[in-house]
Structures are given as structure tokens and as C-alpha cells.
Amino acid sequence: MGAPTQKAAIIGVGETDYQTRIPEQTYAELAQEAARKAIEDAHLSPGDIEAVVYSMAPTEFMGVTDADKWAIDAVFGRSKPFMRVHTGGATGGSAAQAGYMHVASGLYETCLVVGADKVSETPDAQFILNLIWDPFFERDFALNTITMAALQTVRHMAKYGTTEKDMAHVVVSSWKNAQRNPRAHLKGVLTIDAVLESPYFAWPLKRYDCCPRSSGAAAVVIASERVVRQKATRAAWISGVGGVANTVYMGDRMGGARDTDLCDWTELELAAREAYRQAKITDPVKELDVAEIYAPFSSNQLMGVAALGLSSHHQAGALTQEGFFDLGGEVPVNPSGGTLCANPIAVTALVRVCDAALQVLGKAGGYQVPNVHAAVATGVGGSFQFQTCMVLTDEPR
């Protein structure tokens, strides 16, 4: 398996602001804003879009099971090839890859990948996130995304000596980065002490270690090499993709006959290995200029940088404290502020792709990293069991 049948690149990015509630727009109107912005950014018109992939995670938050089919007219998808991708938190990463497949297959010249979420339309988010678990064995234990992340973090602390202070540095850096991102939901000046003194949601995770619930929409336009040459001055080439799924049962990933450890993010390591192979990346620290890692909890960023080969697991905390992953550091991680500063679940992983693409396109504005030739974007979903990885570059590979 070598090069794709047809090379493809992201030539347009569209995002809304991310905030708790967006009462000014219906769900479909929100999705449209991102679609319109992405198509305009690509200097195309809606009629130039040949196919649409819709990025939509669980619908219980916004409350309409056919969310995508409701939004189809608004996102210019009517009477076009249209499909909804849903892989939990990883949805946006999976949707971007599905959009890429539309073009890479040679069947389409353009594909719009778009989605939206209104997570705060229900106050019952963590109750809904309990319904993701096995109804016989796991729902009774108040498992939700926060407790799930706490269980994983406890293992990371035990295995690699990670401290709550390491995690606090991730939060402070993310919030600081987000100040440069006009669309970020949470941002501002936080101190290490403020993070450490915030109340425990589920030990060892405190309030500031956790992402917000956000509403918002995101979109990218993916185009073939032919369209890029005709219409675009810059392009973020999709040079490598990978995805790996693992068992839902977290208990299979801790001790015993395990193949993988819950706290190692081996799924991302494997997905990145494939994406790097396609993109011909052998030394990620040297060759990647920026990483947008889907880290909904502070400790996840420590797992993510190791899985992507930017650090060892043991060193991730220390390197974070030294500023290795800050803007201006060796490999800036989440210069946008990342998922800790905005989490519109259905598109969070697509936002990572958007932010990585903006860096390659040189359009990231206040949080632009200088001279980006290669960027990586990741997505994680389910019980940290689904991981996606996409490498974007300034030239085709």
C-alpha cells in the first residue's frame, strides 16, 4: 500500500466561535456558518462541492437523532452524496479521513467535511455519557468521561511518576495559548496554584484539568490535486492518515493478558505509525512543526505527546514543565488552546484538523507557529479506545 490513487489537500477551513450556548442560531444554522466559511475560504462556491461528509457524534446532547439530515440543506449537501460519520469523540478525525477517501479514491474532486454540536442543549451530558457503557457490567458505576479519564490518569501516575503539577502546567499553557485564539471557549491567565487548588471532580482530576462543554461548528474543504493546482494558492496536503480501535473494556487494558495499557495511548502510537509511514516521517520531533492533540483532560496531553513520538512517557511531564511544547518551544502542542479550551464534541477532532491545517496554510493568526511544513492532528473517542491521526504538509509527499 503506497500512495493514494489521487492526492488530496485541505484548501478551505471554516469555524464558528466556541461557547457554552449559542441561542442565536438553530443547530442547522450553526453548521451552515462553518460550511459557508470553509467554502469561501477555499474560493469555491457551494455548487463546486461534489460530496459531503457530516461529522456528528452522539445526538443526545442536541436532541435530534437525524441532526445531519436536518442540516443537509443548510450545509449545501442536498442532492449530493452525503454520509454521516460517528466514532464518538474521534468523529471529526474519522470524518476528515472519510472525506479524504472520497477524493483519494479518485471518485470526487471536492468534498466538504462539516459538523456542529450544541452540547449544552441538555443539562444531562454526563448522564448521557454514562449510557455509552456496557448496560450489564459498567453503567452502574457512574462511569462517564471524567471518571474514565481519572482512572487512566491514576495508572499514568503510578507507571510514570506523573504529578498533578505536570498536569497543571498543561492547563496553564493551554489557557495561555487560547488567549491568542479568538474562537476559544475558555482562555485567560491561570496560575499553577489556581489549577492545583481547584476542586476535585474525580481524583486526581480537578476542575481545570477538564475540558468545557462547548457548542460550535467546524468544516474543511478537501480537494484533489487537480483542483488545488487550478484554484488554490496554498494547500495543506493530507500526507498520512491512520486510525486504530481497541476494546471498550478498560479493564482489558490494565494488567493481565493485556496487549496495550490504557494510559499509554498505544492506539494513537499505532495510528501515528501508519500516518508517519505514509507521510515519510521518521523523526517526529525534527520533522513535525506543530501538533494539535485531542486532549480533553490535561493528563491526556502527556500521553499524546509520547504516543506521537515527541517524548518518552517518563519525560512528558518534565518536558512540559520546561516549555518544550509551548508556543516558541521545540514542538508547539495545541497552540490553539486545544480541547481543554473548547470541546464541541461532534467536531472537536475536526477542529484539531482545522487548526493543524491553518498552521500549514499560514492562516492561524495570533497563534501561528512560524514556518510550518508539517503538522499532525489527532482525535480520540469512546473509552479512549478510538484514535485517529492525520499528517498535513505544505507540499504533497
Please list every residue from 196 through 235 that binds another protein, using CB under 8 A. 199-205
In 3-state terms, what secondary structure has residue 142? coil
In 3-state terms, what secondary structure has residue 55? strand
Task: Enumerate residues 356-385 that contact another protein by CB under 8 A.
Answer: 381-383, 385
Task: Enumerate residues 121-180 that contact another protein by CB under 8 A.
Answer: 123-124, 126-138, 140-144, 146-147, 150-152, 154-155, 158-159
Q: Shortest approach of another protein to residue 176 CB, angstroms?
A: 23
Residue 322 — φ and ψ, nearest 5°?
-80, -10
Q: Shortest approach of another protein to residue 328 CB, angstroms?
A: 33
Q: Which is nearer to another protein, 4 or 317 (CB)?
A: 4
Taking CB under 8 A as the rule, does residue 35 contact another protein?
no
Task: Enumerate residues 37-56 that contact another protein by CB under 8 A.
Answer: 56
Q: Do 42 and 12 contact (CB within 8 A), yes or no?
A: yes
Calpha distance 211→307 (Å, rounded) = 20
Q: Residue 291's beta-bridge partner residues?
A: 333, 376
Q: Which is nearer to another protein, 24 or 283 (CB)?
A: 24
Q: Which range binds another protein by CB under 8 A, 188-196, 214-222, 243-251, 297-305? A: 243-251
Taking CB under 8 A as the rule, does residue 194 contact another protein?
no
DSSP state, 206? E
Q: Which three cell numbers stand for residue 298?
A: 490535561
Q: Do 57 and 89 contact (CB within 8 A), yes or no?
A: yes
| CA trace torsion 242, 247, 251, 252 (10° rounding) | -90
Calpha distance 381→93 (Å, rounded) = 10
Q: Which of 192, 196, 254, 318 binds another protein (CB under 8 A)?
A: 254
Q: Which is nearer to another protein, 250 or 354 (CB)?
A: 250
Q: Which range binds another protein by CB under 8 A, 57-65, 222-230, 303-311, 365-373? A: 57-65
Q: How many residues bind to another protein according to rule CB under 8 A?
A: 116
Task: Enumerate residues 73-132 that contact another protein by CB under 8 A.
Answer: 73, 77-88, 94, 97-98, 100-102, 104-107, 123-124, 126-132
Q: Which range binds another protein by CB under 8 A, 60-68, 188-196, 311-319, 334-342? A: 60-68
193 burial class (0-12, 13-18, 19+ CB within 10 angstroms)?
exposed
Taking CB under 8 A as the rule, does residue 193 contact another protein?
no
Task: Name 358's Cβ contacts closer than 8 Å, sequence gap at least 6.
Answer: 13, 364, 365, 368
Using CA atoms, how far residue 335 sits from 289, 365, 369, 381, in Å, is 11, 11, 8, 21
Q: Which of 271, 272, 307, 376 binds another protein (CB under 8 A)?
A: 271
